[in-house]
Chains A and B, each alone.
Chain A
Amino acid sequence: MNMKDFIKDLDFSRKSSTVVFLIAILVLIGAFIWWLNIPFIEDIFTNGTIMLIMVLGFQLFMGNSGILNWSYVGYVGIGAFASAIFSMTPALKALQIPTMYPFLISLHLPFPLALIAGALVAMIVAALVAWPLMRLSDSVGAITQFALLIVINVLLSQWSQVTNGPRTFTLGGTRLTSFWLVLGVAVLVIILVYCYKESSLGLKLRATRDDRYAARSSGINFVAVRYVAYVASAGIGGLAGGLYSHYILSITAASFYLNELFLLLSMLVIGGSMSVSGAFFGTLLVTLLRQGLRQVELFLYKTGFEASGSAEIVVAIILIAFLIWRPNGITGGRELTWQSIKRMLPIASEKKDPISNNLKKEEKA
């Protein structure tokens, strides 16, 4: 499919408002924080926006296919390590990770290319392993993805010649991931993930999520449709991983394992996994919540009360509560659109009931 058809396929007149809103909110928050010029808050924002990119990539596959994709965080890790290996100078690598394979030491790319290369490595790994897994659904699908995460994690944490094994992998040098770079990538990824979801390919994947038998008898090859999304999702994860490693500057395999996955999962589920808006607001909400709770923890610590880890407990309990009472998250699985905002406003002249609204539209037409 060429790009022109792809764009035409989107019903822009009605739906493009979502992308505009999400980008506007993100950029406004970013600009405000830049203006505040408080390093501590800038750090929270940059970290949060990297998380946002991760959650968007997570949503791309999991939200549209309905398969709990445990392995996702593994691809984030692959992207983080791979891009670091590409971007570090040979001299630095020889110093930091003396056990590394000589051919890896000799690799060197400028930072932006290294980021893209890291994402490509994640996509290649996904493309190689995913085909047989894509026919598995439901709990079987989730279990195999979990097993795959274990494989990736063991490789990342034990392959000394590549990742420095269980020891910390220090990138050295200066922090290459900047505030504005992360913001720019996040904007691009919002557009990408949303366009994918609304494209024919994304619509087909959402159909397989709701009923794969009906999808099959409607002419959809669900294995192929899932495969494309899985590889794309791994690519976005890898890109986010690269941004993360060049921001944090020292990583270990443990940074890309269950803790991180749980955080991504809670952001996506609390927001509402079926929509891009859900991924966005879930990340925003959980980030604010965790930062708030961390301040409380610090305060308690100062008063002599040990409460570390309580933020995780609170997030976990909120996740459980959402799954019980609002399984489609705060967005209910829908997108934030101009129409949905109008409907929420109390002054809206039209009735809330969409049926009667549509009836009215019909009458007018």
Chain B
Amino acid sequence: MKSKSTFTVKALCKSFSGLKAVDDVSLRLETGEILGLIGPNGSGKTTLINIMTGMLPKDSGQVTIDEHDISEMPAYKVPSYGLVRTYQTIRLFKNLSCLENAVIGAIGVGIKRREATRLAAELLEELGLGYKMDLPAQGLTFRDQRLLEIARALAAKPKFLLLDEPAAGLNEEETDELLALLKPMPENKNVGIIIVDHDMRLIMSLCNRLHVLNYGKTIAEGLPEDVRKNPEVVKAYLGSAAS
């Protein structure tokens, strides 16, 4: 009964003054899956995310959700088609209350205010931020800011969620919490997740599949166990962390 959607990237390219930041990258994700997007620093992950969400124009290629090509759209229309992102450097509306932050996520995709408030309050309760609803976002701890950003993204009822380094700045305990939060999310929220992170422990225990970039190119994709054994990946990125 859950509706299935497909997110695809086809032959996406982007250069900055001759340097190919994203070079012919293709990937595919269904709702209910978690895809790990990994690669060393400067491998084009952030550029890829920015193009997928319409923040940067592409050179060529396609980004589609079901039959809609979202790469031609202005960034503010992308969430309405089901793709929402979070930021590595947390971006919250710091003078607004936690509730208002989450409400924005919902009204941004056209959900009516009442329903938006209900949905936002529910999500904050779910993520354990319920008792901070009326506090301004700028007073939150780092961990809570991360959670609030995720709540805001979920309030848009996305089909696909793009998490840009959600574990950056979290300690081990908090990362475990994040893992426990994200693991059942594809099932519970009927959402597909693309996660970028350097925390291999998180990536390995969370993702159904991995997609590895280096110098803007796909160097490996597949099941986590297979990818970590791939010699090119080991050479380019995992290094001693994998062994």
Contact of A217 with B by CB under 8 A = yes
Check A204 against B108 for contact (C-beta < 8 Å): yes
The 8 A CB mask of A181-202 against B (1 = contact, 0 = none) is 0000000000000000001100
Which B residues lie within 8 Å of A220 (CB)?
76, 104, 108
How distant is B32 from chain A, measured CB to nearest CB, in Å? 23
Tell me whether A217 and B75 are in contact in the complex, defined as CB-CB below 8 angstroms, given that A207-B104, A362-B130, A362-B131 are known contacts.
Answer: yes
- Take A217-B55, A218-B152, A218-B156 as given contacts and tell me if A206 and B93 are in contact as well, using a CB distance cutoff of 8 Å: yes
Are B104 and A203 in contact, with the CB atoms below 8 A? yes
Q: Which of A317-363 contact B (CB under 8 A)?
A: 333, 354-355, 358-359, 361-362
Q: Which residues of B contact A204 (CB under 8 A)?
A: 104, 107-108
Given contacts A211-B91, A214-B93, contact A203 B132 (CB under 8 A): no
Report if B87 contacts A (CB, 8 A): yes
B92→A210 contact, CB < 8 A: yes
Is A158 part of the contact surface with B, judged by Cβ < 8 Å? no
Q: Is the CB of A216 within 8 A of B96?
A: no
B5 interface residue, CB < 8 Å from A? no
The answer to whether A214 touches B107 (Cβ under 8 A) is no
Within 8 A of A (CB), among B101-132: 103-105, 107-110, 112-114, 116-117, 130-132
A221 close to chain B: CB less than 8 A: yes
Within the complex, the shortest CB–CB distance from A169 to chain B, in Å, comes to 41
B76 contacts across to A, CB distance below 8 A:
216-217, 219-222
Total A-B residue contacts, Cβ distance less than 8 Å: 99
A138 contacts partner chain B, Cβ-Cβ < 8 Å: no
Q: Which residues of B contact A354 (CB under 8 A)?
A: 134-135
CA distance A276 to B26 in the complex (A): 50
State the CA gap A213–B76 with chains docked (Å): 9
By a CB distance below 8 angstroms, the chain A residues around B134 are 354, 358
Q: Check if A215 is an interface residue, CB within 8 A of chain B.
A: yes
Cα A220 to Cα B107 in complex, Å, equals: 9
Query: In the bound complex, do residue A217 and residue B113 qualify as a contact, i.e. CB atoms below 8 Å apart?
Result: no
B13 touches A (CB below 8 Å)? no
- Interface residue tally for chain A (C-beta within 8 Å): 31
Please give, as numbers and ranges, the residues of chain A lying within 8 Å of B55 by CB-CB distance.
213, 216-217
Q: Is B80 an interface position by the 8 A CB rule?
A: yes
Question: Are B94 and A210 in contact, CB atoms less than 8 angstroms apart?
Answer: yes
Asked if A203 contacts B103 (CB within 8 A), the reply is yes
Known: A206-B95, A217-B85. A200 touches B109 (CB 8 A): no
Q: Separation in Å of the A143 CB from the closest CB of chain B? A: 24
Q: Is B74 an interface residue (CB 8 A)?
A: yes
Say how far A138's CB is from chain B's closest CB, in angstroms: 16
Q: What is the CA–CA distance of A221 and B80 in the complex, to the nearest angstrom? A: 12
CB of A351, distance to nearest CB on chain B (Å): 14
Q: Which residues of A contact B112 (CB under 8 A)?
A: 5, 9
Question: 0/1 per residue, B76-93, Cβ < 8 Å to A?
Answer: 111110001101000111
B79 in contact with A219 (CB, 8 Å):
yes
Give the chain B neighbours of A209 by CB distance below 8 A. Answer: 93, 95
A contact residues around B87 at 8 Å (CB): 213-214, 217
Closest chain A CB from B144 CB (angstroms)? 11
A203 and B117 alpha carbons, distance in the complex (Å): 12
> Closest residue to A210 on the B side, CB-wise?
B93
Contact B84 A355 (CB under 8 A): no
B196 to chain A, nearest CB (A): 15
Closest chain B residue to A328 by CB distance? B95
Judged by a CB distance under 8 angstroms, whether B197 is at the interface is no
Q: Answer yes or no: A302 CB below 8 A from chain B CBs.
A: no
Within 8 A of B (CB), among A121-152: none
Residue B71 CB within 8 A of the other chain:
no
Closest-by-CB residue of A relative to B137 is: A210
Closest to B94 in A: A210
Chain B contacts for A9, CB-based, 8 A = 112-114
Q: Which residues of B contact A240 (CB under 8 A)?
A: none
In angstroms, Cα B109 to Cα A213, docked, is 16
A286 located at the interface, meaning its Cβ lies under 8 Å from any Cβ of chain B in the complex:
no
Contact call B75/A358, Cβ cutoff below 8 A? no
Residues of chain B with a CB closer than 8 A to A207's CB: 93, 96, 104
The answer to whether A219 and B96 have CB atoms under 8 Å apart is no
Check if A214 sits within 8 Å of B91, measured CB to CB. yes
Q: Which residue of A lies closest to B113 (CB)?
A: A9
A-B contact pairs, 18 of them (CB 8 A): A8-B113, A199-B113, A200-B107, A200-B116, A204-B104, A204-B108, A206-B96, A207-B93, A210-B92, A211-B92, A214-B92, A216-B75, A219-B105, A219-B110, A274-B95, A355-B131, A355-B132, A358-B135
Nearest 6 interchain pairs by C-beta: A219-B108, A214-B91, A9-B113, A210-B93, A219-B79, A218-B108
Q: Please report A residues at the B interface, Cβ cutoff 8 Å.
A: 5, 8-9, 11, 199-200, 203-204, 206-207, 209-211, 213-222, 274, 333, 354-355, 358-359, 361-362
Taking A214-B93, A218-B79 as known contacts, 9 extra A-B pairs with beta carbons closer than 8 A to each other, sorted by chain A number, are A206-B93, A210-B95, A213-B55, A213-B87, A217-B79, A217-B87, A219-B76, A220-B104, A333-B95
